[in-house]
A and B are shown apart, each in its own frame.
Chain A
Amino acid sequence: MRLTTIEKKVLAGFAATFVILGITVIAGGYAVRAFINASRWVTHSYDVLQSIDEIQTRIQGTELDTRAFMVTGNALQLKQRDETYENLSGLLDRVRNLTRDNPTEQVRVALLGDAALQLRGLQDRMIAARQKSQISAGAAQTEMAAAYQALQQPDRLLAGMRETEKGLLDQRLNQAHATAMRAVVLFGVLLVFMFGIKLYLFFRIKDEVHERERMDEDLVHAKQTLEATNRELEGFSYSISHDLRSPLRAVNGFARILETEYGAQLDDEGRRIISVIVRNSEKMSTLIDDLLAFSRVGRNPLTATRVNMTALVNKVHSELTASGDYPSTRFSIGDLPEASGDQAMLTQVWTNLLGNAFKYSSRSPNPEVAVTGELQNGECVYLVRDNGVGFDMKYYEKLFGVFQRLHSDAEFPGTGVGLAIVQRIVTRHGGRIWAEAIPGQGATFRFSLPAEATA
């Protein structure tokens, strides 16, 4: 399949669009995954921060419980404190786990654990003293101050951790935002590319359509010019048939009258000169008639019907030999395939081809003319072979030209229009004509017609 430039461009454009679409899909997948990753880290940071807050609340909670026990001596407060410590150790594990990748935080978590233990020790001591009622108000005051001091350590640690995690959170939020922005920019660029390609294709196609419209207009114009030329030609050939034949008839007629009425007063040379005038006026008349016949082939419309070629050739043959010409020529005809075409025009084809074959073989010792035909690759191919004078293949190019002859008028009379007419008719039917010959041995003419009507 051959593609025009515009078709190639459109195909390339669509291919490029599909490639860009593919890139978009893949890049989109990566971008979404990167964004989900970044988001996961953000969630992680929030988890850590939340845990840190809870640890602080719990540590303060144990201190509050302890102080409440110191005041009320209620065992329920102790139970609550123990539960809080258990929760606290779970939370510490959780933070340790969450900050596995951060050595600084691991140290802080360890220190936090130690600080919590220390605080618990202090609290335990105070509780034991309270239970034994051995603690004085002053001592309790001191112990509480110490516990308060002990509380500062986890607070500091937690504040540090919170700070670190907030930094990380900021960093991770930024990263997620950057990932999203990168995806947006990438999609934007791809979109612009795609739009650009479409725009380019749009203008190419627009140009192409415009160009074709212009060509259509040219074609219409050319057709009109051709029709006008044809009409002119028609008028021209009409004039030829009228205006040239009339004076020619006068030349011929008056030469004949001269011959009839004054022939006795002329010598032989005078009479010969008259015969030259007569002969040439008749020759010119034939030329005009043939030229008109040739122009008519192009102008008359084709009326295609099924044509029985065998019957047609037999009819042409009997007309050709009706006057008793060519008595010694042996004629044979094979089984010819039926053709589809204009009956009158095909009659003309056979008349000219058979006429030539008989004429150019008439001087052979045993003149023979054979007509055969067959179906070949959906075409009807017909063949006319004679054993006459043939022609030199060197002049093949001239064979089908108007007024072109390969033999002199003295040898074989003719105007050189017959084969031109044949070629024109065959071509108008969508067929071809060709020939081969050997001088002195004969010629073979072949012509093809489509098996089905095309006209």
Chain B
Amino acid sequence: MSELKQVEILLVEDSQEDAEITIRGLQMANLANNLVWLKDGEEALDFLFCRGRFSHYTDYRPRLILLDLKMPKMDGIEVLAEIKRNPQTRSIPVVMLTSSAEEGDIVRSYNLGVNSYLVKPVDFRKFSEEIAKAGIYWLVMNKVPG
């Protein structure tokens, strides 16, 4: 489990296909080497706060969280609220990845402190481009508190 120390990206996405496409996009920019993909919000929070089946882990903070908005049980907005409420996780950049450009969702996400909001294009090439750009920006260019 030592590789988890280098977890850089946490992808929270319920759709297998969307997750695969996202991961492939990140792979093209060589960003998917240390990526953990979880299928729902509850798991994501367990992972971040070392609870449930992740209770034996300590302090594996990802450097970027890619969060799908619409998921069963606990949706992206609730996960975002939890992450930004907790001082431990507050400083981790969270990028919303979603199919919808609904004004209401965007406003709610920003009110909860989202760092970026991306609408996933249908066109795979555009999507790969955008996700690579976002990965490079948040992982390479952006500075966060140590």
Closest to B17 in A: A250
CA–CA, A201 and B57, complex, Å: 88
Residue B122 contacts which of A238, A248, A254, A257 (CB distance < 8 angstroms)? A248
A94 CB within 8 Å of chain B: no
B99 contacts A249, C-beta separation under 8 Å: yes
For the side of the interface on B, what is the size category? 10 to 19
- Please name all residues of chain B whose beta carbon is closer than 8 Å to the beta carbon of A405 when the two chains form the complex: none
A245 contacts B21, C-beta separation under 8 Å: no
Q: Which of B18, B21, B120, B124 has the most CB of A within 10 A?
A: B124
**Residues in A257-287 with C-beta less than 8 Å from chain B:** 257, 278, 281-282, 284-285
B70 CB within 8 Å of chain A: yes
Closest to B101 in A: A241
B127 contacts A242, C-beta separation under 8 Å: no
Residue-wise, chain B 29-72 has the 8 Å CB interface mask toward A (1 for contact) of: 00000000000000000000000000000000000000000100
Residue A241 contacts which of B24, B102, B125 (CB distance < 8 angstroms)? B102
B17 contacts A253, C-beta separation under 8 Å: yes
CA–CA, A232 and B18, complex, Å: 27
A245 contacts B122, C-beta separation under 8 Å: yes
- Please name all residues of chain B whose beta carbon is closer than 8 Å to the beta carbon of A250 when the two chains form the complex: 15, 17-18, 21
A256 CB within 8 Å of chain B: yes
Q: A242-B70, A256-B125, A257-B24 are in contact. Are A249 and B120 (CB under 8 A)?
A: yes
B18 contacts A242, C-beta separation under 8 Å: no
B3 CB within 8 Å of chain A: no
A252 contacts B24, C-beta separation under 8 Å: no
Closest to B104 in A: A238
- Please name all residues of chain A whose beta carbon is closer than 8 Å to the beta carbon of B122 when the two chains form the complex: 245, 248-249, 252, 281-282, 284-285
Q: How many Å from the CB of B100 to the closest CB on chain A?
A: 5
Q: A250-B18, A250-B21, A254-B17 are in contact. Are A241 and B99 (CB under 8 A)?
A: yes
CA–CA, A245 and B15, complex, Å: 12
CA–CA, A248 and B24, complex, Å: 17
CA–CA, A165 and B24, complex, Å: 135
A-B contact count (CB 8 A): 57
A242 contacts B124, C-beta separation under 8 Å: no
Residue B21 contacts which of A238, A242, A249 (CB distance < 8 angstroms)? A249
- Please name all residues of chain A whose beta carbon is closer than 8 Å to the beta carbon of B123 when the two chains form the complex: 252, 282, 285
Q: How many Å from the CB of A217 to the closest CB on chain B?
A: 33
Q: How many Å from the CB of B12 to the closest CB on chain A?
A: 15
CA–CA, A249 and B126, complex, Å: 11
**Residues in B3-30 with C-beta less than 8 Å from chain A:** 15, 17-18, 20-21, 24
B124 contacts A256, C-beta separation under 8 Å: yes
A246 CB within 8 Å of chain B: yes
B101 contacts A249, C-beta separation under 8 Å: no
CA–CA, A284 and B122, complex, Å: 9
Q: How many Å from the CB of A252 to the closest CB on chain B?
A: 5
- Please name all residues of chain A whose beta carbon is closer than 8 Å to the beta carbon of B120 when the two chains form the complex: 245, 249
B24 contacts A242, C-beta separation under 8 Å: no
Q: A256-B124, A282-B123 are in contact. Are A246 and B100 (CB under 8 A)?
A: no
CA–CA, A282 and B122, complex, Å: 7
Q: How many Å from the CB of B75 to the closest CB on chain A?
A: 11
- Please name all residues of chain A whose beta carbon is closer than 8 Å to the beta carbon of B125 when the two chains form the complex: 256
- Please name all residues of chain A whose beta carbon is closer than 8 Å to the beta carbon of B124 when the two chains form the complex: 249, 252-253, 255-257, 278
Q: How many Å from the CB of B126 to the closest CB on chain A?
A: 9
- Please name all residues of chain B whose beta carbon is closer than 8 Å to the beta carbon of A247 when the two chains form the complex: 17
Closest 6 CB pairs of A and B: A285-B122, A250-B17, A256-B124, A253-B124, A253-B21, A245-B99
Given contacts A242-B100, A252-B123, 13 further A-B contacts (CB under 8 A): A238-B102, A241-B99, A242-B70, A246-B99, A249-B17, A249-B21, A249-B99, A249-B127, A250-B18, A252-B122, A253-B17, A253-B20, A257-B21
Residues of A that sit less than 8 Å from B by CB: 238, 241-242, 245-250, 252-257, 278, 281-282, 284-285
